[in-house]
């Protein structure tokens, strides 16, 4: 089947509230170009109004401001609005440019919105909780009685201390370098929990005294503050469960952001297959096989049929040494099909042989998981960036 909005909807049978398109690797412009065209069609033909990517949820607010209101410039949005270096990908730049152009002359619910769904985390560490705690406290201080606040802004500042303590890169490999279990951090977790609880308890008043965007962002601040401090707490842990906790906290934060977007209306999301699949995710690290419930599994359990997941796969990435797949693997079976790219019903592929990736950056599809995919988007050959033509 062709990869377009009509065939996607025909395969799914109805429009899900949250439609997830996975990717087996990051930064391949062939896949990003295909994603952009598919998302454009789904916006224009199926009424999706939010596009979310696997990037820092707080940084993504700068992209949303540019897309929705034209705040700043495209260069500024790409530089300040993406984590993990994703702002350098030409396909992401094309997507943001198109979203802004689409919004010209539109207002209200017709506008497209952008969202990052990842926590303020990088592989080597996590951000300071200062910006999000300060924003949450400031929002509440402007709207509720002062005697309801669990602490003052000055108390938060004193407990936070130097931001460099929180962003210490050595903490990822050495728990003793983390401040996540210091007395100050423990106190901050309590304050963050109380601030989030106050946000919830004051919901009727806060909705009445806020714009929808202000309310959405306050809730984002609340769940990010508590999630980020929880992540720092487990960075300081020395038990065998440390890495499983860290991976689980990250995906739980992604899931919470996705569920919030689904509340707002039909949304599209693009992230790694391992974050969006319905099964547990796994990885081998330091001789340990780690498994945790990923964001897609959490969201699927909550939304049921309102969540749909299309996995993506590639046949070759020759510029990274990934050559023609063995014919008995999922990718090998799909590589033999005449249509390229194609959308495939995954039924019947569960008996394939697992593919061993020759490059750490590519995660092959797991035959044990395909029965839980709603479809597979397959591209035979990923081209080097300079050879990818974009719309």
pLDDT digits (tens, 9 = 90+) for 53-65: 999 999 999 999 9
* Contact criterion met (CB below 8 Å) for 306 and 18: yes
* Contact criterion met (CB below 8 Å) for 118 and 54: yes
Indicate the pLDDT class of residue 186, thresholds 50, 70 and 90: very high
Which pair of tokens denotes residue 236? Answer: 């300081």
DSSP summary character for residue 202: T
Does the domain spanning 125-242 belong to CATH 1.20.1440? yes
* Contact criterion met (CB below 8 Å) for 231 and 126: yes
pLDDT tens-place string over residues 269-315 = 999 999 999 999 998 887 789 999 999 999 999 999 999 999 999 99
Report how far residue 269's alpha carbon sits from residue 52's, in angstroms, rounded to the nearest whole number.
5
pLDDT tens-place string over residues 57-92 = 999 999 999 999 999 999 999 999 999 999 999 999
The whole-number average pLDDT for the span 133-137 is 98
* Contact criterion met (CB below 8 Å) for 198 and 140: yes
Report domain extents, the chain. 5-122+254-381, 125-242
**CATH code assigned to 5-122+254-381:** 3.40.50.11550
pLDDT the model gives residue 122: 85
Indicate the pLDDT class of residue 388, thresholds 50, 70 and 90: low
β-pair type (307-316, 288-292)? unpaired
The whole-number average pLDDT for the span 328-336 is 97
The predicted model scores a pTM of 0.96
pLDDT tens-place string over residues 197-246 = 999 999 999 999 999 999 999 999 999 999 999 999 999 999 999 999 99
Q: What is the largest CA-CA distance in the chain?
A: 68
Using the structure block, give the residue that is written with the tokens 């995906």.
251
Report how far residue 259's alpha carbon sits from residue 307's, in angstroms, rounded to the nearest whole number.
10
């Amino acid at each position: 089947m062709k990869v377009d909005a009509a065939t996607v909807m025909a395969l799914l049978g109805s429009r899900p509230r949250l439609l997830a398109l996975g990717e087996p690797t990051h930064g391949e412009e062939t896949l990003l170009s295909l994603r952009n065209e598919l998302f454009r069609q789904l916006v224009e033909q199926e009424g999706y109004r939010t596009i979310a990517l696997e990037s820092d949820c707080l940084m993504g607010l700068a992209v949303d401001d540019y897309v929705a209101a034209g705040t700043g410039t495209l260069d500024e949005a790409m530089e300040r609005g993406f984590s993990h270096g994703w702002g350098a990908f030409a396909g992401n730049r094309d997507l943001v440019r198109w979203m802004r152009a689409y919004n010209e002359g539109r207002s209200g619910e017709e506008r497209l919105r952008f969202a990052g769904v990842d926590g303020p985390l990088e592989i080597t560490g996590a951000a300071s909780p200062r910006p999000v705690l300060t924003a949450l406290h400031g929002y509440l201080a402007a709207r509720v009685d002062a005697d309801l606040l669990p602490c003052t802004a000055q108390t938060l500042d004193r407990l936070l201390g130097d931001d460099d303590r929180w962003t210490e890169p050595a903490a990822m490999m050495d728990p003793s370098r983390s401040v996540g279990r210091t007395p100050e951090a423990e106190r901050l977790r309590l304050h963050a929990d109380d601030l989030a609880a106050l946000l919830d308890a004051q919901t009727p008043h806060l909705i009445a005294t806020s714009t929808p965007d202000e309310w959405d962002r306050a809730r984002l601040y609340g769940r990010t503050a508590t999630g980020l401090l929880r992540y720092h707490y487990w960075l300081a842990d020395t038990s065998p469960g440390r890495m499983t906790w860290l991976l689980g906290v990250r995906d739980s934060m992604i899931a919470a952001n996705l569920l919030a977007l689904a509340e707002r209306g039909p949304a599209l999301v693009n992230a790694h297959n391992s974050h969006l699949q319905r099964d547990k995710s796994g990885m081998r690290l330091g001789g340990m096989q780690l498994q945790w419930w990923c964001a897609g599994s959490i969201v699927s359990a909550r939304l049921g049929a309102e969540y749909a997941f299309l996995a993506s796969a590639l046949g070759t990435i020759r510029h990274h040494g990934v050559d023609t797949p063995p014919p008995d693997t999922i990718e090998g079976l799909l590589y033999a099909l005449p249509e390229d790219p194609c959308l495939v019903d995954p039924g019947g592929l569960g008996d394939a042989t697992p593919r061993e990736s020759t490059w750490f950056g590519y995660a092959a599809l797991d035959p044990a998981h395909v029965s839980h995919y709603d479809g597979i988007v397959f591209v035979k050959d990923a081209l080097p960036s300079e050879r990818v033509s974009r719309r």
